[in-house]
Structure 1
Amino acid sequence: MSSDDLTVTTEAGVSLEIPPELPIVPLKGLVAFPNMMFPLVVSEPSLLEMADDVLGGSKMIGLFSVLPEAAKPDVGQVLTESSDDPAILTEIATTEKAQNFTSVGTVAQIQKMLRFPDGGMRLLVQGVARVQMVRVKQTEPYMAASVRVIHIDEPESKRTEALRRNAVELFQDLVDASGYLSEELKIVVMNIEGTGRLSDFLGSNLNLSLEDKQALLEELDPVTRLETATAFMIRELEILALGKQIQDQVQSEMSQNQREFFLRQQLKAIQRELGEDDADSEIAELREQIQKAQMPEEAEAATLKELGRLEKMPPQAAEYTVAKNYIDWMLSLPWTPTKRPKIDIPKAERILNEDHYDLEEVKERILEYLAVRKLHDNPKSPILCLSGPPGVGKTSLGKSIARSLDRPFARLALGGLHDEAEIRGHRRTYIGAMPGRIIQAIVSAKAMDPVFMLDEIDKVGKDFRGDPTSALLEVLDPEQNNSFQDNYLNVPFDLSRVMFITTANALYQIPGPLRDRMEVIELPGYVTSEKVQIAKRYLIPKALEDNGIASKHLKFTQPALAAIANQYTREAGVRNLERQINRVARKVATQVARGKRPKVVLKPDQISKYLGKPKIHRESRARRAQVGVATGMAWTPFGGEILFIEASAMPGKGQLTLTGQLGNVMQESAQAARSWIRANLPKLGVEHNTFTKIDIHIHVPAGAMPKDGPSAGVAMVTALASLVTGRPVRPDTAMTGEISLRGQVLPIGGLKQKMLGAKRAGIKRVLFPAQNENDFEEIPDQLKRGVEGIPVSSIDEVLEETLKPKRRR
């Protein structure tokens, strides 16, 4: 019954024109019917953007249910509400493929909108008509698809009228029998005209499964749909009658239960006389386990006290389970250290070399750490913090350390953690209380001395529920963690034998007191040659195994790996490189599954066949000497990068314009650079009143990305000097450093990461502050190979090294 006619008539008799292309809102656990009105609370960013777009246009959206087996509950949410059940949570799968949706949905019109202070909004929507999804038009930033309106004819006959009257009576009986339907619905159902609208009303209000509701929505014959809804109501009335019968039976048996209680007490007395008392034997068994657990005196006393309370309580008491759970947690904790062989330093070195390529400085520091642990029985060594961009091997290093020590490995992801109770546990006064995740991980590891990785410690949140970083201060302090007290256990537990290792992308996001408790080991990232070796040794064998193919089916040449790393990834680590290798492996695996026998030896000119056109276009390839353009160096949590500082002049009155999402510190650097240039115009061979005749515009491309920090000062003063003198800047030179009004170049941080980013971009010369010369010397030779490092201490030296002679016209 689908039609190309996109005009529909509402229940009020108003004609609406349905757009041929609609934004799609996927619903999990909910089916929207025509003429059904309900609110949606939207909080997911892509859906907020969709709502803003729709509210400015047709106010029409398409509501399609997600098939249960295809639903992904971690993508986004829409909260639906009704007067009877004010908080029914329905998931939104914003990245679902088209085949995961039902074929028929409902076009709905947004009637009202209310914005919340937290950025979300509440939409009141009303279903208009059934629609069929034809083709998905877009998936980003939200899904949109072309639809076809389903027009339905409603035949009239005496049988149809009888069917409607019967359905109305059944529904009124159902309202009387049920406790979840409002009495007002009895009046509403009597005033509904039309077989189709009546069946839709029944479908939206009956307590049906998602599949049954979707079946009603997809049934296009109004009479058949109403017959199906009638069958559902008859079944529901039978279930309610049976439930009432059971309830009456339970009430009559209440007195019998009291009689049985006395009989059970008598039975327990008889069992006690016969020595068959199960409860007493369980208490005795728990007491024996407590004595064998070798708990510290305070912990044993607390456990025995709880056991005494448990002994006096009947099993039916609400507190019985609480006390039993506490004793079970105390018994499951490892209270005594496990005897382990001495740390084998050569073995640890061999495992680190097997699992990780290069990273010599990092491996050396880890071996030093293990050596101290070997020579001292109870060392209070610092907590290691592995800091670096994503994908450089921080988490896998922790696993290698655990393997080299023959210890269990425990991991706690701290990203997005907001509640302090997640670390310290909940007090037992709360329903469902349990220990914190530190104690839970110790129980899972079944050892007092696991290698415990606290992942993404720089992404811990903080809100009204507490500050988890404050709880971590005790955990990560070697002077305090020998008596860590979980709120649930309420007794000290020794964490001093645990080897804590933390990971972070951005150290500056870690609070100072917490950072002070850790020794930072930086993993700067990899150059292309190192990525190629890592791919050959680790990523390619893993990809072949994961995709079920052998090395005879697929081989990568070294130039091809280098091309993939440079043209299809922009990262300091190798995570995206691994994804691209897996993409190639999957395409070859597809050929194998089709019965072919491919023998692919991937070369650079064949990459586009498997991965498409190159995704990364290095700006360095198009660089040339230009007036007013200097190359700076930046550090980001994802590694080092280069950035361009562009300066332009135009007739004006000396104003300075800054664009490119520059932070306050970076704006101040631009103003300092401009002041130094104005103060030194005669030295540069420029008239002293030049700045009174022109306006200056400084722009840093990639304007969508916020930028801040003082280290771009050198590049800014170079770009301005090039602009006013007409001398172009050397294109093979990048620079970093803070400047002062006296013309000094001040030290900066992150030189190693910036050098790595410059080398990846093809830079041949790097200018850095002379006070960072020690940092430059510590950079491994393979990172500096092919890049000339030039220390500078003043702006004059910078301009001498960067500005080329003025072009002749």
Structure 2
Amino acid sequence: MSKFETFDFSQAIPIVAEDTEFFPLLTQEDEDNMANAEIPEALSILPLRNTVLFPGVVIPITVGRDKSIKLVKEAYKGSKTIGVVSQKDMTVEDPGFEELNKVGTVAHIIKVLQMPDGNTTVIIQGKQRFNLLEIVGTEPYLKARVEKFNEAKPKMTKHFKATISTLKEMALQIIQLSPNLPSEAGIAIKNIESPSFLINFISSNINVEMTKKQELLQIPKVENRAKLLLELLTTEIQMLELKHQIQNKVRVDLDKQQRDYFLNQQLKTIQEELGGNTPDLELEELKKRGKSKKWSLEVEKHFTKELEKLSRINPAAADYSVQLNYLELLLDLPWNDNNKR
């Protein structure tokens, strides 16, 4: 069972295994060699619940299903080659052909690690896409007949080059807007030479639904993949910018409230030391004087409303003294004492 949660740029950093250093950056030559390599007619299939593996990308996967653990351990002792396919529904415990997406990725097992908590984690690197044709075995784990995915090499037109450059800039912008992402992610993005791998790398790390990642995986034409990825990155940037705007507004409002509160407290202290009335005492005095007045119900309601208004005004503001003078005027007017409620 893949318990791997949201995979982000923080996972795509150098991974060191025994005697070999893996940095998830591919040259165009590396990618061509992977794409041209032959794949077996049948592969052992590792279903993934909540992630999609892209060619060239290195990710850790935690496996928990007995079938998956057995598959990983046996493959690691042998060819180290497996097929990785994401599930359509992550809640299905034992997926069959219908529950699996029909485009997956040939994966090379780099390392199998037994974690202190008892879980098994496997570090894998995607190699190339394949089409899932049919299941040919279910025990002790899934085995399927597969065929090579028909993928056309992109034409390096001016438009495509501009698209790739824009993708790189937008990915770097997302890293800047996301404080939790490490600087290594930006270094990796800047140093990717292969356009196809850049698309795969960003597709693996972008914060979108699984269905969108699967869609990116199975689009045959690289140019169309780049177009969809551009749309997804644009949406992600808009969301991040909106989030920052909201956070900044809340922070500014909060800072203003804290500043006003601090000034009010200082003002109260100064007034108390000088023997003057604090705003709270002034309000209480006005309220007390109002209760002693024998005025109509209508006037009383108006006075109460204006008193509440005064309580909401910053004592340091000019409006405060204006409102205070108005209330004192109301209290000082010669109301008809015989006009009782």
What is the alpha-carbon distance in structure 2 between the residues aligned to residue 125 and residue 174 of structure 1? 25
Q: Deviation per CA, 1:391-438: give whole Å up to 9, x if none.
A: xxxxxxxxxxxxxxxxxxxxxxxxxxxxxxxxxxxxxxxxxxxxxxxx
2:40 aligns to what? 19
1:580 aligns to what? none
| Equivalent pair of 1:196/1:225 in contact (CA under 8 Å) | no
| Equivalent pair of 1:36/1:201 in contact (CA under 8 Å) | yes
Q: CA deviation at 1:114?
A: 2.9
Q: Deviation per CA, 1:311-366: give whole Å up to 9, x if none.
A: xxxxxxxxxxxxxxxxxxxxxxxxxxxxxxxxxxxxxxxxxxxxxxxxxxxxxxxx
2:231 aligns to what? 231
In structure 2, the CA distance between the partners of 1:51 and 1:255, relative to structure 1 (3 Å rule), is closer
2:109 aligns to what? 110
| Equivalent pair of 2:46/2:71 in contact (CA under 8 Å) | no
1:129 aligns to what? 128
Q: CA deviation at 1:119?
A: 6.4
Q: CA deviation at 1:150?
A: 1.0
Residue 40, structure 1, aligned to residue 61, structure 2: yes
Structural mapping, 1:533-552, within 5 Å: none
1:169 aligns to what? 169
1:759 aligns to what? none
Q: CA deviation at 1:10?
A: 4.5
In structure 2, the CA distance between the partners of 1:56 and 1:165, relative to structure 1 (3 Å rule), is same
What is the alpha-carbon distance in structure 1 between the residues aligned to residue 115 and residue 135 of structure 2? 31
2:80 aligns to what? 59
| Equivalent pair of 1:108/1:127 in contact (CA under 8 Å) | yes
Which letter does structure 1 place at the counterpart of 2:247? Q
| Equivalent pair of 1:48/1:120 in contact (CA under 8 Å) | no
What is the alpha-carbon distance in structure 2 between the residues aligned to residue 47 and residue 103 of structure 1? 19
What is the alpha-carbon distance in structure 1 between the residues aligned to residue 160 and residue 41 of structure 2? 33
Q: Deviation per CA, 1:743-768: give whole Å up to 9, x if none.
A: xxxxxxxxxxxxxxxxxxxxxxxxxx
Aligned length in residues: 235
What is the alpha-carbon distance in structure 1 between the residues aligned to residue 236 and residue 117 of structure 2? 41
Q: Deviation per CA, 1:772-801: give whole Å up to 9, x if none.
A: xxxxxxxxxxxxxxxxxxxxxxxxxxxxxx
| Equivalent pair of 1:195/1:223 in contact (CA under 8 Å) | no
In structure 2, the CA distance between the partners of 1:242 and 1:117, relative to structure 1 (3 Å rule), is closer
1:215 aligns to what? 215
Higher relative contact order (CA 8 A, sep 6+): 2
What is the alpha-carbon distance in structure 2 between the residues aligned to residue 150 and residue 160 of structure 1? 22
What is the alpha-carbon distance in structure 1 between the residues aligned to residue 68 and residue 49 of structure 2? 15
| Equivalent pair of 2:73/2:112 in contact (CA under 8 Å) | no
In structure 2, the CA distance between the partners of 1:237 and 1:118, relative to structure 1 (3 Å rule), is closer
Match of 1:71 among 86, 91, 94: 91
Q: CA deviation at 1:188?
A: 1.7
What is the alpha-carbon distance in structure 2 between the residues aligned to residue 50 and residue 101 of structure 1? 17
RMSD: 2.8
In structure 2, the CA distance between the partners of 1:228 and 1:118, relative to structure 1 (3 Å rule), is closer
Q: CA deviation at 1:182?
A: 2.4
Which one has a larger percent helix, Structure 1 or Structure 2? 2
Moved over 4 A (4+): 116-120, 255-260
What is the alpha-carbon distance in structure 2 between the residues aligned to residue 241 and residue 113 of structure 1? 39
Q: Deviation per CA, 1:29-77: give whole Å up to 9, x if none.
A: 2111111101223343222221232123321111111113x623xxxxx
Q: Secondary structure at the match of 2:208?
A: coil
Q: Secondary structure at the match of 2:46?
A: strand
What is the alpha-carbon distance in structure 1 between the residues aligned to residue 117 and residue 182 of structure 2? 33
What is the alpha-carbon distance in structure 1 between the residues aligned to residue 168 and residue 195 of structure 2? 11
| Equivalent pair of 1:135/1:147 in contact (CA under 8 Å) | yes
Residue 251, structure 1, aligned to residue 272, structure 2: no
| Equivalent pair of 1:196/1:223 in contact (CA under 8 Å) | no
What is the alpha-carbon distance in structure 1 between the residues aligned to residue 254 and residue 116 of structure 2? 51
Q: CA deviation at 1:96?
A: 1.1
What is the alpha-carbon distance in structure 2 between the residues aligned to residue 256 and residue 158 of structure 1? 50
In structure 2, the CA distance between the partners of 1:43 and 1:237, relative to structure 1 (3 Å rule), is closer
Which letter does structure 1 place at the counterpart of 2:144? A
Which letter does structure 2 place at the counterpart of 1:19? P
Q: Secondary structure at the match of 1:11?
A: helix
Which letter does structure 1 place at the counterpart of 2:82? I
| Equivalent pair of 1:19/1:58 in contact (CA under 8 Å) | no
1:50 aligns to what? 71
TM-score, normalization by structure 1? 0.27
Q: CA deviation at 1:106?
A: 1.1
| Equivalent pair of 1:23/1:143 in contact (CA under 8 Å) | yes
In structure 2, the CA distance between the partners of 1:244 and 1:107, relative to structure 1 (3 Å rule), is same
Q: Deviation per CA, 1:636-658: give whole Å up to 9, x if none.
A: xxxxxxxxxxxxxxxxxxxxxxx
Q: CA deviation at 1:135?
A: 0.3
In structure 2, the CA distance between the partners of 1:246 and 1:159, relative to structure 1 (3 Å rule), is same
1:145 aligns to what? 144
| Equivalent pair of 1:138/1:145 in contact (CA under 8 Å) | yes
Q: Secondary structure at the match of 1:203?
A: helix
What is the alpha-carbon distance in structure 1 between the residues aligned to residue 165 and residue 47 of structure 2? 35
Gaps of 5+ in 1: 1-8, 73-92, 271-809
Q: Secondary structure at the match of 1:217?
A: helix
Q: CA deviation at 1:131?
A: 1.1
What is the alpha-carbon distance in structure 2 between the residues aligned to residue 144 and residue 122 of structure 1? 21
Gaps of 5+ in 2: 1-28, 265-279, 285-341
Structural mapping, 1:174-193, within 5 Å: 174-193=174-193
What is the alpha-carbon distance in structure 1 between the residues aligned to residue 175 and residue 68 of structure 2? 36
2:324 aligns to what? none
Q: Secondary structure at the match of 1:35?
A: coil
| Equivalent pair of 1:189/1:198 in contact (CA under 8 Å) | yes
What is the alpha-carbon distance in structure 2 between the residues aligned to residue 120 and residue 244 of structure 1? 37
What is the alpha-carbon distance in structure 2 between the residues aligned to residue 202 and residue 147 of structure 1? 26
Aligned residues with identical type, % of pairs: 29
Which letter does structure 1 place at the counterpart of 2:132? M
| Equivalent pair of 1:160/1:195 in contact (CA under 8 Å) | no
What is the alpha-carbon distance in structure 2 between the residues aligned to residue 240 and residue 116 of structure 1? 34
Q: CA deviation at 1:255?
A: 4.9
In structure 2, the CA distance between the partners of 1:42 and 1:107, relative to structure 1 (3 Å rule), is same
**If you compute each CA radius of gyration, which structure gives the higher value, 1 or 2?**
1
In structure 2, the CA distance between the partners of 1:110 and 1:177, relative to structure 1 (3 Å rule), is same
Q: CA deviation at 1:112?
A: 1.7
In structure 2, the CA distance between the partners of 1:206 and 1:223, relative to structure 1 (3 Å rule), is same
In structure 2, the CA distance between the partners of 1:11 and 1:147, relative to structure 1 (3 Å rule), is same
1:99 aligns to what? 98
